[in-house]
Amino acid sequence: MMNKNIGVYIHIPFCIQKCNYCDFVSFTNYGLEDKYFQKLLMEIDLLEYDGRPINTIYFGGGTPSTVKPENIELVVLKLKEKLDLSNLVEMTIEINPGTCNNDSIGKYYEMGFDRISIGVQTFDEIMLGKLGRIHGEADIYKTINLAKKVGFKNISIDLMFGLPGDSLERLDRDLGIAMDLNLQHISTYGLIVEPGTKFYEEQKKGVLKLPEEELLLNMRKLINKKLSKFKFSRYEIANYARVGYESKHNLIYWNNDDYYGFGLNSTSKIRNLRFKNESDLNKYINMDNFDKHNLEEITNEMEIEEGIFLGLRLLTGIDLEDFLNRYKIDIKKKYEKVLGELLEINAIIVNDKMLKLTDYGMEISNYCMAKFLS
């Protein structure tokens, strides 16, 4: 058995306001913040820790930068006290432009965060308004400059495309600006209209004008082309990084490794067990124990299938020998028929060493991945 990496995810479910596309579990009631953190600390405390050293920590949300930095620090201290962080290689916090001042960004750096992920989404003032973001274009530059000033050398931004009324010109401008900012990592997401969001309601009413499939495909092509020109390599379906700056925490997910999730609605996967936390904020802050009642057992078969569909997300694909060593499965033998079908439509590349999706395969990855399920 290879040694797995282990990550820790901390969920901070507070946001100043809900964005029009967002269906994440988040709340605007900061009155519950302190209670929430008390419970979060308790949850970490009660973990039955097996002593395996932790490799990455990730604070996500919600908007972690909208809560008091002191609360973040309490969690960091708790993690240091409870877990073996001697092998820690990455510690990320998500922030949103316009939500943190000089002071707090500096504090994150001092606490030990070495990577910052900024929810930019777009540099287009009008589009930011349409998305229901609370920041403007100038806030973004301010935040990025601040982060650099306090010492962050690993900065990632999120960009969205396929937005209402979107165009290649808008995307091209966004990418151009991003390239001028001297960043290390960019995540790019096509808009998905999820039930329960404001966009969903608008779509039902027929007033949301979204780009056609053709344009979305061209947008992805533009992203690939432009970013590679500036030495950002695509390493996952939606993620691009300069050499060595791939998100180590997120690679844990895609490598099907283990992770502890703490906080509302977070997911843990430890060996063959998966667990999703309570998603109701009021219930969470009133919990008196963190016994895991709804554990999902990941069967051997599930583990293999997830190993495949997560591995296929990566540009490096699946290393066939590693896969054989870890899962005792010869992919080429077991999935001979599936591989044949996918080869025929040019969705995969397979040789003696590895199996991976082509650019086209990435665009239809659901179709490809579903074929590996039993």
Partner 1 sequence: MTDLSNIRNFCIIAHIDHGKSTLADRLIEYTGAVEKRDMTSQLLDQMDLEQERGITIKLQAVKMKYFADDGREYLLNLIDTPGHVDFTYEVSRSLAACEGALLVVDASQGIEAQTLANVYLALENNLEIIPVINKIDLPSAEPEKVKQEIEDIIGLDTSNAIFTSAKTGEGTKEILEAIVRYVPEPIGDYEAPLKALIFDSNFDAYKGALSYVRIIDGSVKKGMKIRMFATGKEFEVTEVGIFEPLHKVVDSLKAGEVGYIAASIKKVADTRVGDTITGAANPCIKPLEGYKKAVPMVYCGLYPIDNDQYNELKDALEKLQLNDASLLFEPETSSALGFGFRCGFLGLLHMEIVQERLEREYNLSLITTAPSVIFIVHLTDGTTMKIDSPAQLPDTRLVDYLEEPLVKASIMVPNEYVGTVMDLCQDKRGVFVNMEYITPKRVVLTYKLPLGEIIYDFFDQLKSRTKGYASLDYELAGHERSSLVKLDILLAGEIIDALSCIVHRDKAYHRGRALVSKLRQLIPRQMFEVPIQAAIGTKVIARETVKAMRKDVLEKCYGGDISRKRKLLEKQKEGKKRMKQVGRIEVPQEAFMAVLSLDDE
Q: Closest CB to partner 1 among 104 and 265?
A: 265
CB contact set of 292 (below 8 Å; sequence gap of 6+): 273, 275
Query: Which residues are at the interface with partner 1 (CB under 8 A)?
Result: 7, 9, 188-190, 192, 213-214, 216-217, 237-238, 250, 253-254, 259, 261, 265-267, 269, 274, 276, 296, 302, 305-306, 309-310, 313, 345, 362-367, 369-371, 373
β-strand pairing of 233-236 with 239-241: antiparallel
Q: Closest CB to partner 1 among 179 and 216?
A: 216
DSSP 49-83: ---PPP-EEEEEES-GGGS-HHHHHHHHHHHHHHS
Q: Measured from the CB of residue 214, what is the shortest distance to partner 1 in angstroms?
A: 8
Q: Closest CB to partner 1 among 69 and 260?
A: 260
Q: Measured from the CB of residue 192, what is the shortest distance to partner 1 in angstroms?
A: 8
3-state secondary structure of 188: strand
Omega prior to 62 cis, within 30 of 0: yes
Distance of alpha carbon 75 from alpha carbon 80, whole angstroms: 9
Cα-Cα-Cα-Cα torsion 66, 70, 76, 78, nearest 10 degrees, comes to -130
3-state secondary structure of 27: strand
Q: Closest CB to partner 1 among 233 and 365?
A: 365
Q: Measured from the CB of residue 102, what is the shortest distance to partner 1 in angstroms?
A: 30
Q: Closest CB to partner 1 among 75 and 264?
A: 264
Q: Measured from the CB of residue 38, what is the shortest distance to partner 1 in angstroms?
A: 23
Q: Closest CB to partner 1 among 3 and 366?
A: 366
Q: Measured from the CB of residue 345, what is the shortest distance to partner 1 in angstroms?
A: 5
Distance of alpha carbon 16 from alpha carbon 13, whole angstroms: 10
Q: Measured from the CB of residue 315, what is the shortest distance to partner 1 in angstroms?
A: 14
Distance of alpha carbon 43 from alpha carbon 262, whole angstroms: 7
